[in-house]
Amino acid sequence: MAATSPETSRYTETERKFEVVETTVSPSFDGLSLVSRVERSPSQSLDAVYFDTPSRDLARHKITLRRRTGGSDAGWHLKLPAGADTRTEVRMPLEGEAVPDALRDVVLAIVRDRPLAPVARISTARTIELLYGHDGSVVAEFCDDRVTASAEGGDEVQWREWELELADGADPALLDRLANRLFDAGALPAGHGSKLARVLASSGSADEQQRPVSSDPLHRAVAGHVEELVEWDRAVRSDVYDSVHQMRVTTRKIRSLLQSSEGSFGISDDDWILGELRELAAVLGVARDAEVLAERYERALDALPEANVRGPVRDRLVEGAKKRYQTGWRRSLTAMRSPRYFRLLDALEALTAAEPPAPAAPGEQPADATIDSAYRRVRKAAKAARVAAQDPGVDGDEALHRIRKRAKQLRYTASATGANRVADRAKVIQTLLGDHQDSVVSRSHLSRQAAVAHAAGEDTFTYGLLYQQEDDLARRCEAQIEDALRQLDKSMRSAAKGG
């Protein structure tokens, strides 16, 4: 199964829908400064079968998947939310009756191993008016639709609606101006986001249940991050820049917050969910680390005088890292298509959908206690790092890395509970020691690559130069860490006083 297909195409669609009655007269677009003429196209007959899981998982995420015949864009269409009035549409040719694997893969984090089957059938008699700008190009499309639809097992319903869709590159402000003409004609904003949403709602098959909102800030934060994880999953499958990094960060946020939850989710430190999140972050880390090194070496080499870039160093460091990224990305996709990954997503959704914990008893402050426990772990790690600095037999770099991991956990917890100043101070430590850890990884890689280059008879001067730059960076980070820890301590004291 491939994440993409040579026959897959993507489009950005910006449109609005409007409710009208059968007798509503079509709007006039005369007098609009951005519209030079209006041209009516031949009417179209569109027939579509919509697919979803038995529990309507796609509909719950405002995603539609259909097989449509008729019209100029007949084929398989997968529509994904992309902001206000905007959706991304992924299309494939009209082949077969089963959902194409490439489209299923895009939303695999949502559907997982559940079956996709027809849930509704919608026929549309469409009249189209194309609106042209003064340069002769189409700026918008107005559609007058008469719809006949039925959910699987439901009664047939009919209605009329209008759609306004902007052409690629059209001025977004035009959408509001055109919408005003529709309102003047008697239209109202549609009470549904899609034809499918309307027919499912009319049949009673839409999932309208709202999950309870927890009073626990950590519970709310984890629920939000689980939703983000599913969104970043989709971006990773499309190999969107920085998506592996963002999915990995989101995975770590969830794990850190679950560890800091003080029993809000009923899991222990050795719970399998925490282990699976750690493994997922590790798998994503292969691609992410390679991506970081490729960008890091490319910047460093670009900044050097040309005379100091000797031998095929760019090919070994930059291109080699890019190849490792592709290998790591494919490995990530393999993991993200596995039943093991699906069960993790199932478990995370079950955790966040569970009954919210009872509010704290009078006088209790669970959020502060959670921050305190996370801060104690930072202090413990900092103390161990100071001891390690005095012992040549102890790995000081690893000790500093532990401070970073504890500071990161504190940052996520503080952010979720509204302790913003504490979160900002913890972020400073995380950033400093993140740069330090990147330097550690880079120096190790440079040493290995220099050895390979030397064995091949190549000039290794540039490797040594880059190594020294990385070492200097690490020393600068180390010099700042104690002051950053003191500032964190001050912010914790202020938070304890209610400041």
Same domain, 260 and 348: yes
Per-residue pLDDT of the chain (499 residues; tens, 9 = 90+): 334 455 789 999 999 999 999 999 999 998 888 899 999 988 999 999 999 999 999 999 999 999 999 988 899 999 999 888 899 999 999 988 899 999 999 999 999 999 999 999 999 999 999 999 999 999 999 999 999 999 998 899 999 999 999 998 888 888 999 999 999 999 999 988 899 999 998 877 655 445 556 667 888 889 999 999 999 999 999 999 999 999 999 999 999 888 877 666 777 767 899 999 999 999 999 999 999 999 999 999 999 999 999 999 999 999 999 999 999 999 999 999 999 999 999 999 998 887 655 555 554 544 455 789 899 999 999 999 999 888 887 788 999 999 999 999 999 999 988 899 999 999 999 999 999 999 999 999 999 999 999 999 999 999 999 999 999 999 999 999 999 999 999 999 998 887 6
What's the total number of domains in the chain? 3
- What is the structure's pLDDT at 84? 81
Query: Does 302 map to a domain?
Result: yes
Query: Does 333 map to a domain?
Result: yes
- 288 backbone φψ class: left, alpha, beta (φ>0; ψ -120 to 50): alpha
Same domain, 232 and 167: no
What CATH number corresponds to the domain at position 158? 2.40.320.10
Query: Does 225 map to a domain?
Result: yes
- What is the structure's pLDDT at 2? 36
Q: What's the Cα-to-Cα distance from 317 to each of 286, 290, 297, 446, rounded to whole Å?
A: 16, 10, 7, 8
- What is the structure's pLDDT at 45? 96
Same domain, 268 and 123: no
Same domain, 391 and 423: yes
- What is the structure's pLDDT at 176? 92
Query: Does 262 map to a domain?
Result: yes
Query: Does 376 map to a domain?
Result: yes
Query: Does 250 map to a domain?
Result: yes
- How many Cα atoms sit within 13 Å of 103 on the Cβ side? 30
Same domain, 394 and 417: yes
- 92 backbone φψ class: left, alpha, beta (φ>0; ψ -120 to 50): beta
Cα 330-336-341 angle, rounded to 5 deg? 150
Same domain, 227 and 149: no
Give Cβ neighbours of residue 396 (< 8 Å, ≥ 6 apart).
385, 388, 389
Same domain, 316 and 182: no
Same domain, 284 and 265: yes
Same domain, 326 and 378: no
- Give the number of other Cβ atoms within 10 Å of residue 187's Cβ: 21
DSSP string, 156-207: -EEEEEEEEEEPTT--THHHHHHHHHHHHTT-EE-SSSSHHHHHHHHHT-S-
Query: Does 4 map to a domain?
Result: no
What is d(CA 136, CA 37) in angstroms, rounded to the nearest whole number? Answer: 9
Q: What would the two tokens of residue 442 be?
A: 């880079």
**87, 123, 96: which is closest to 15 by C-alpha?**
87
Tell me the residue range of the domain where 249 lies: 211-359
Query: Does 3 map to a domain?
Result: no
- Give the number of other Cβ atoms within 10 Å of residue 241's Cβ: 9
Which of 152, 173, 203 finishes a domain?
203
**484, 480, 450, 475: which is closest to 464 by C-alpha?**
450
Same domain, 244 and 301: yes
Which of 290, 324, 359 finishes a domain?
359
**104, 108, 111, 57: which is closest to 76 by C-alpha?**
104
- How many Cα atoms sit within 13 Å of 43 on the Cβ side? 8
182 contacts 140 by C-beta, under 8 angstroms? no
Same domain, 320 and 403: no
pTM value is 0.86
Q: Which residue has the tokens 């280059």?
A: 453
Buried b (16+ CB within 10 A) or exposed e, 462-483: bbebbbebbeebbeebbeebee
Which of 308, 336, 359 finishes a domain?
359
Same domain, 246 and 349: yes
